[in-house]
Amino acid sequence: MAVEDEVIDDLRSRIAATRLPDAPQGIGWSAGTDVGWLRGLLDEWAGLDWRAAESALNRLPMYRATLGGLRIHFVHQPGNGPRPLPLLLTHGWPSAFTEYSRLLPLLTDPGAHGADPADAFTVVAPSLPGFGFSERPAAPGVAHPVIADLWSRLMSQVLGYRRFAAHGTDIGAGITARLARQHPDNLVGIHLSAASLPLPERPWSAAEQEYADIVVRWDEQEGAYARVHATRPQTLGVALNDSPAGLASWIAEKYRAWTDGGGDPESRLPSGYLPTLLTIYWATETAASSMRLYYEYREHAEPLRPRGSAGQGGRAGQGGDGVPTGFAVFGHEFAPMPQPPRDLAERYFDVTHWTQFASGGHFPALEEPELLARDLRDFFRPLRPNAEA
């Protein structure tokens, strides 16, 4: 992986020429990104030693494979243990494969981090189509069901893992759920975090009603970004593809709101994480294509159906109903949006594992990698023999 010098030089020139809007006194974050904070982030971005960051990323074992006519980028890190379990990790938005930088060593070499080597995973972490170093789809229709099929081909046909484990967060949780519905025989189990679940037909439990009420309030206060992505991604994409300040404002504001950092996202992230992530989006020109995944979902994917429903995998009662599913629920996930209650999750999945943590937010692999690694080990430990069946 390499980014041309001209791209980095142009980026720094554009940051230097940034025109930030005015901000009424005392407005802070109440109307969106605080411009004073953004100015500091832009200065940090302009000063990023990209070649050092690039060199660090290139130490990961990265590959590309052509799947469904798309060149897909992925990390493939072998595990260090007696029988490492293949584990597919799928990120969400606004993210990249870099989300797993802290988690990878804990999963692939648990013995070096105070855990049992028998819990080792061989990790495959692809970049979603249109994100980072994966190719941007040139035709419509690349939504969750299509990506789930691509991931099955990557793991089974390209890498040779007949049965494997999968974890997803945010959009990645939705794709992982589709993977279980569409290819249940390939999965020993799935593990989800930051999962958004649709509400089924009534009647609802008291917990489901509370979830529905708070989601409505959250959507009114915080959900405008998703409606723009799902309806007019190209309009916003023009701005983000042309302006580093616009890109930084749109993405970094979400890290402030969605991390468990008390208003300081970088307190929960590796040093230089945001400037590195922003450079990946900028250099690959994937701001618009990443947002289009919301539009593609709206246009080309039906909502997930409850267990036992016909469709999304065949006859009623099939399609992934029997795939063991674990949930890790982190305390600041999309605060103040509630985490989905277990009784709602059980409408859609065979929930065999449920862990709630007091800390952590929307990016648990970055914010609480030790907790997430432990939960993945605990959930998949009894399922490991099924990978060899």
CA angle 324, 370, 226 (to 5 degrees): 70
* pLDDT value, residue 314: 40
Conformational region of residue 28, where left means phi above 0, alpha means psi within -120 to 50, and beta covers everything else: left
Is the predicted pLDDT of residue 316 greater than 50, yes or no?
no
* pLDDT value, residue 206: 94
* pLDDT band of 266, cuts 50, 70, 90: confident
Is the predicted pLDDT of residue 389 greater than 80, yes or no?
no
What's the rounded Cα separation, in Å, for the pair 33 and 233?
19
Is the predicted pLDDT of residue 313 greater than 50, yes or no?
no
* pLDDT value, residue 312: 53
Is the predicted pLDDT of residue 59 greater than 80, yes or no?
yes
Strands 62-67 and 164-169: unpaired
* pLDDT value, residue 321: 65
Closest listed residue to residue 1, CA positions, set 65, 70, 57, 67: 57
| Average pLDDT of span 299-303 | 93
Is the predicted pLDDT of residue 248 greater than 50, yes or no?
yes
Range of weakest confidence among 180-194, 330-344, 345-359? 330-344
For residues 57 and 95, the answer to whether their CB atoms sit within 8 Å is no
| 3-state secondary structure (DSSP) of residue 328 | strand
* pLDDT band of 310, cuts 50, 70, 90: low
* pLDDT band of 318, cuts 50, 70, 90: very low
* pLDDT value, residue 320: 54
Is the predicted pLDDT of residue 317 greater than 70, yes or no?
no
* pLDDT value, residue 315: 35
Q: What is the pLDDT of residues 117-132, one digit of tens each?
A: 999 999 999 999 999 9
Phi, psi dihedrals of residue 329, rounded to the nearest 5°:
-110, 120
Domain 53-387 has CATH 3.40.50.1820: yes
Q: Where are the domains of the chain?
A: 53-387
What's the rounded Cα separation, in Å, for the pair 179 and 303?
14
Return the HEC string of 145-205: HHHHHHHHHHHHHHCCCCCEEEEEECHHHHHHHHHHHHCHHHEEEEEEECCCCCCCCCCCC
| Average pLDDT of span 294-304 | 95
Per the model's pLDDT, the better-predicted residue between 336 and 276 turns out to be 276
Which position has the token pair 């990104």? 33
Which amino acid belongs to residue 238? V
* pLDDT value, residue 74: 98
Q: Which distant-in-sequence residues (6+ apart) come within 8 Å of 380 by Cβ?
A: 85, 87, 119, 121, 165, 188, 189, 191, 326
| Average pLDDT of span 97-103 | 97
Closest listed residue to residue 294, CA positions, set 234, 242, 341: 234
Provide the β-strand partners of residue 324. 350
* pLDDT band of 333, cuts 50, 70, 90: confident
User: Which string of b and e fits 245-284 if b means at least 16 CB within 10 Å?
Assistant: bbbbbbbbbbbbbbbbbeeebbebbeebbbbbbbbbbbbb
Closest listed residue to residue 327, CA positions, set 186, 168, 100, 120: 168
Residue 118 DSSP code: G
